[in-house]
Amino acid sequence: MKRILVIHGPNLNLLGKREVDIYGKVTIDEINRDLKKMAKAKRAALTIIQSDHEGEIVGAIGKAKGRYDAILINPAAYTHTSVAIRDAISAAGIPVVEVHLSNIYAREDFRRTSLIAPVAKGQVSGFGKASYLLGLEAAITLIKK
53 flagged as catalytic: no
Instruction: Round to whole Å and give the CA distance between 145 and 82.
Output: 30
Helix and strand element counts for the chain (H, E): 5, 5
100 flagged as catalytic: yes
* Listed residue (11, 112, 113) closest to 57, CA to CA: 11
Tell me: does residue 102 bind ligand DQA (CB under 6 A).
yes
Q: What is the DSSP letter of 125?
A: E
Cβ closer to ligand DQA: 2 or 27?
A: 27
Q: Which residue of 31, 57, 97, 104 would you call a contact of ligand DQA, by CB under 6 A?
A: 104
Name the one range near ligand DQA by CB under 6 A: 37-45, 53-61, 65-73, 94-102. 94-102
- 68, 78, 100, 132: the catalytic one is 100
Partners of 143 in beta bridges: none
The residue ranges of DSSP E strands in the chain, in sequence order, are: 2-8, 44-50, 70-74, 96-100, 122-125
Pattern of binders to ligand DQA over 48-77, x per CB under 6 A? --------------------------x-xx
Hey, which residues are catalytic here? 23, 100
